[in-house]
Amino acid sequence: MSEIDVRDQIVESATKFFSKFGFYKTTMDEIARHIHKAKGVLYYYFKSKEELFNEVLRRELGTVKSELSKILAGEADSIVIMRAYTLARFKLLHKAVNYHETLKADFFEKYYFVKDVRDDFSDFERNQLSTLLQRGMDEGFFEITNVDSSVNILMMIMNGVEIPFFLQNKYPEYENTLDELASIIMVGLHSKK
Amino acid sequence: MSEIDVRDQIVESATKFFSKFGFYKTTMDEIARHIHKAKGVLYYYFKSKEELFNEVLRRELGTVKSELSKILAGEADSIVIMRAYTLARFKLLHKAVNYHETLKADFFEKYYFVKDVRDDFSDFERNQLSTLLQRGMDEGFFEITNVDSSVNILMMIMNGVEIPFFLQNKYPEYENTLDELASIIMVGLHSKK
DNA sequence: TAATTGACCAATACACCAATTGGGTCAAAT
DNA sequence: ATTTGACCCAATTGGTGTATTGGTCAATTA
């Protein structure tokens, strides 16, 4: 009975509620009641509601990162990988509903506590893209003067469209043009030969 | 005395206040007092506060549009124009502080009344970019399969970064990479020959 | 000892009312 | 044709008491 990891139960329950109602409309008490425990036990495993939310986020983005890592580890040309990465990135993030809430952090001071998880994902992406672009240059597919700067621009574009996509629900509308976006970026990074 | 166009005075006064305090923190009474008139006179020239704000916006974006039109009417290659357009677009919009407020319309229902002006600017931009891309194809600089679709993507990128740029004040940080963004887009649209 | 409970606290959110603000109207005046 | 200022009323604001909820902890269980 107590074999089941309670910490996991808590996170699963929290995920359910946070996904459905968001951070502020979810109470610690209902998370606890849902697994037939007293509220106090949550504080045995997590030191605060914010930390619990962060754990939920960490897992959500962890899935995204591992999926993306699979793509990045592929054998194909860096161009092919780059395209696949772009499409998958948005498709995966589209489903990461708790991540969406963190996008509000830039508007509402309330959400300061998600900074760490967001930064972590940003770092991940920056590293991966740097590696990929560098590899693309080594393979002769890309010809860019400054990798860091190109990565910055890619990140600017990708982060930029997240708010319209996920908070204003324009992702479905744009989903089928993402392939073309990827094309433009691909060619844009491509050597003029 | 009554030679001075009162309507203009009103709009100028309104521009001052709206630019400084935004739509909701500005009162019709202070706009009127500033030009030593009674509040009622505002309603002789404008049927509502919202309409007055729209007029302010119209002028603000009118300036932007006419500046951009100058660039678009240039003699240079479509590539050169495209780059100049991109840089100028953001530089001009950066100064259009009332336009910034309209960006909130996508988050807060309160701002529904700015739809018309925003749509107008969107239409302008869509038309101009279509013409430019088409011209670029005719001149052999661009090689795109579907102009509309490419325009969509350009607009998606440009609109996407507006919120980070103007509402989260990241424009200064990115300003000097805009040139490179333009490059990527340019090459991205460029024929592979 | 590790895990859990439930009563308890303090801070925040919330519901409610009163007072004020501010958008908008209009008959009268200029 | 334009302007005024008193007026209306819906919405906002500020203040207050109550309820909710994040968080603590001594006692209890297994």
pLDDT at position B50 is 96
What contacts A81, CB < 8 A, 6 or more positions away?
A: A71, A72, A74, A132
Task: List Cα–Cα distances, B171 to A120, B157, B176, B183, in angstroms.
Answer: 23, 14, 9, 18
Strand partners, B190: B142
Rounded CA separation B187/A71 (Å): 26
Q: pLDDT tens-digit profile of A91-113? A: 999 999 999 999 998 888 888 89
Label residue A3 by pLDDT band (50, 70, 90).
Answer: very low
Q: What is the mean pLDDT of residues B20-39?
A: 96
Bases on strand D under 7 Å from any protein CB = 2-6, 20-26
Residues, chain A, total? 193
Residue B60 or residue B110, greater confidence = B60
Contact B150 A180 (CB under 8 A): yes
Average pLDDT value for chain A: 92
pLDDT score for A190: 74
What residues contact A36, with CB distance under 8 A and at least 6 apart? none
What's the start-to-end Cα distance of chain B, in Å? 66
Tokens for B55, please give them.
Answer: 């007029």
Mean per-residue pLDDT of chain B: 92
What is the pLDDT at residue A25?
A: 95
| pLDDT greater than 70 at residue A24 | yes
Q: Which long-range contacts (CB under 8 A, 24 or more apart) does A132-139 make?
A: A132/A72, A132/A78, A132/A81, A132/A82, A132/A85, A133/A78, A133/A189, A135/A78, A136/A78, A136/A79, A136/A82, A136/A189, A139/A77, A139/A78
A174: number of CA atoms within 13 Å, CB side? 29
pLDDT of B24 strictly over 90: yes
A4 touches chain B (CB under 8 A): no
Please name the member of A107, A181, A189 whose beta carbon is closest to the beta carbon of B153. A181
- Residue A28 contacts strand D, CB under 7 A: yes
Q: Is B3's pLDDT higher than 70?
A: no
Q: Which of A1-5, A151-155, B123-127 has the highest mean pLDDT?
A: B123-127
Q: Say whether pLDDT at B117 is over 60.
A: yes
At residue B189 the predicted structure's pLDDT band, cuts being 50, 70 and 90, is confident
Most confident of A1-15, A120-134, B107-121: A120-134
Chain A contacts of B160, Cβ < 8 Å?
157, 160-164
CA B22 – CA B97 distance, rounded (Å): 9
pLDDT band at B20 (very low <50, low <70, confident <90, very high): very high
* Residue B161 forms contact with A (CB below 8 Å): yes
DSSP B139: T
CA-based max dimension of chain A: 66
**pLDDT (0 to 100) of residue B191:** 54
Q: Above pLDDT 70, what percent of chain A? A: 96
Residue type for position A108: F
Query: Given an 8 Å threshold on Cβ–Cβ distance, is B163 in contact with A168?
Result: no
DSSP string, B59-128: HHHHHHHHHHHHHHT-SS-HHHHHHHHHHHHHHHHHH-HHHHHHHGGGT-GGGGGGHHHHHHHHHHHHHH
| Stretch A158-168: mean pLDDT | 94
Q: What pLDDT is stored for residue A71 in this prediction?
A: 97
At residue B68 the predicted structure's pLDDT band, cuts being 50, 70 and 90, is very high
Separation between Cα atoms, residue B91 and residue B60, nearest integer Å = 13
Q: Which of B161, B167, B188 sits opposite A156 (nearest CB)?
A: B161
Where do the DSSP E strands lie in chain A? none
Residues A41-64 have pLDDT tens digits of: 999 999 999 999 999 999 999 999
* A126 — pLDDT class (breaks 50, 70, 90): very high
A122 against A3, higher pLDDT: A122
Residue A28 in this model has a pLDDT that exceeds 90:
yes
At residue B161, does pLDDT exceed 50?
A: yes
Please report the pLDDT score of residue B188 as a whole number.
85
Summarize the confidence of residues A1-13 as an average pLDDT. 82
Q: How confident is the model at residue A13 (pLDDT cuts 50, 70, 90)?
A: very high
How far apart are the C-alpha atoms of B88 and B158, rounded to whole Å? 12
> Can you tell me the mean pLDDT for A63-78?
95
Residue A191 banded pLDDT, cuts 50, 70, 90: low
pLDDT of residue B107: 81
At residue B83, does pLDDT exceed 60? yes
| Distance of C1' in C17 from CA in B154, Å | 53
Return the number of CB contacts < 8 Å for A and B: 89
